[in-house]
Amino acid sequence: MDWPLLAELSEEDRRRFLALARRRRFSKGEVVFHAGDPGESLHLVAKGRFAVWAGTPSGDTTMLSVLGPGGYFGELALVAKTDRRAATVSALEPAETLSVGRVEFELLRADHNSVNQVLVTALATEVRRLSALVVETLHVPAETRVLRRLLAVAELWGGARPGLVVPFTQEDLAGLAGTTRPTANRTLRQAELVGLLILHRGRIELVDPIGLKDRARVP
């Protein structure tokens, strides 16, 4: 498995870092940690897919992002000793991670300062991701964002192709796109009417991915 988070490490440092990891397995729907829990470890996704959830002012929960193999979450646990988890993460299917604890990472840093590059990469990646989301939210219509999130999620399920079924609800996509469920529903219904997808209960089937990309203005 190649993790972009470790791409800047030397092969020796990469081996040292992964030697700290403990494999953890999760069943579908199992929560890895809740928002507010103490942050004690970073998770590298080895298998399966995970959803990141956050609470809303109304008391509901909304999906913020989805992570698949090669991704990671919980990186702030390696940065701030007193940090609490900012979101809840749960497994969307049977899944596995490699968990690296903060205490073990601190001991490794003491002897091999070069592994600090993991923190630099994690924080730089998050800043770029959030900056891109802010720009998109300000300048891209919500309807377009809904279709872009659908295509992005499809990539985590092997790539957008005719017949691919994405096991997400309209509400899930609304959360990912930072919009309301009615907006997501209207957008997806319009795409269904022109033959780009088929809506099922709790899932979305792609029919014409190329047409979806054109509609979402995705290169």
Please say if the pLDDT value at position 162 is more than 90: yes
- Number of residues assigned to the chain: 219
Quick one: 122 and 155 in the same domain? no
Task: Note the pLDDT tens digit of each residue in 96-129.
Answer: 999 999 999 999 988 898 898 998 998 899 899 8
122 in the same domain as 42: yes
List the domain range (segments joined by +) for residue 185.
140-216
Note whether 80 and 42 are within 8 A (CB): no
3-class SS of residue 144? helix
126 plus 159 within the same structural domain? no
Are 82 and 159 within one domain?
A: no
What confidence category does residue 219 fall into, taking pLDDT thresholds of 50, 70 and 90?
A: low
Q: For residue 31, what pLDDT band results from cuts at 50, 70 and 90?
A: very high
At 62-103, the pLDDT tens digits run 999 999 999 999 998 888 766 789 899 999 999 999 999 999
pLDDT at 58: 73
Residue 106 C-beta-side C-alpha neighbours within 13 Å: 10
Buried b (16+ CB within 10 A) or exposed e, 122-149: beeeeeeeeeeeeeeeeeeebbbbbbbb
Where is the domain boundary, 102, 136, 170? Answer: 136
pLDDT at residue 42, as a whole number: 94
Is the domain of 15 the same as that of 84?
Answer: yes
User: Which CATH number goes with the domain that contains 201?
Assistant: 1.10.10.10
Indicate whether 173 and 110 sit together in one domain: no
Residues 90 and 124 in one domain: yes
113 and 61 within one domain: yes
Residue that is last in its domain, among 136, 151, 185: 136
Please count the structural domains in the chain: 2
Based on the fold, state whether residues 116 and 207 are members of the same structural domain.
no
Q: Could you tell me the CATH number of the domain that includes residue 78? A: 2.60.120.10
Boundary of a domain, candidates 136, 171, 199? 136
pLDDT of residue 137: 87
Degrees to nearest 5, angle at CA 147 with 141 and 153 = 130
Rounded to two decimals, what is the model's pTM?
0.89
How large a percentage of the chain has pLDDT more than 90? Answer: 74
Whether residue 132 is found in the same domain as residue 153: no
Indicate if 12 and 109 belong to the same structural domain: yes
Flag whether pLDDT at 155 surpasses 70. yes
Burial of 56 (0-12, 13-18, 19+ CB in 10 A): exposed
Q: Are residues 180 and 210 in the same domain?
A: yes
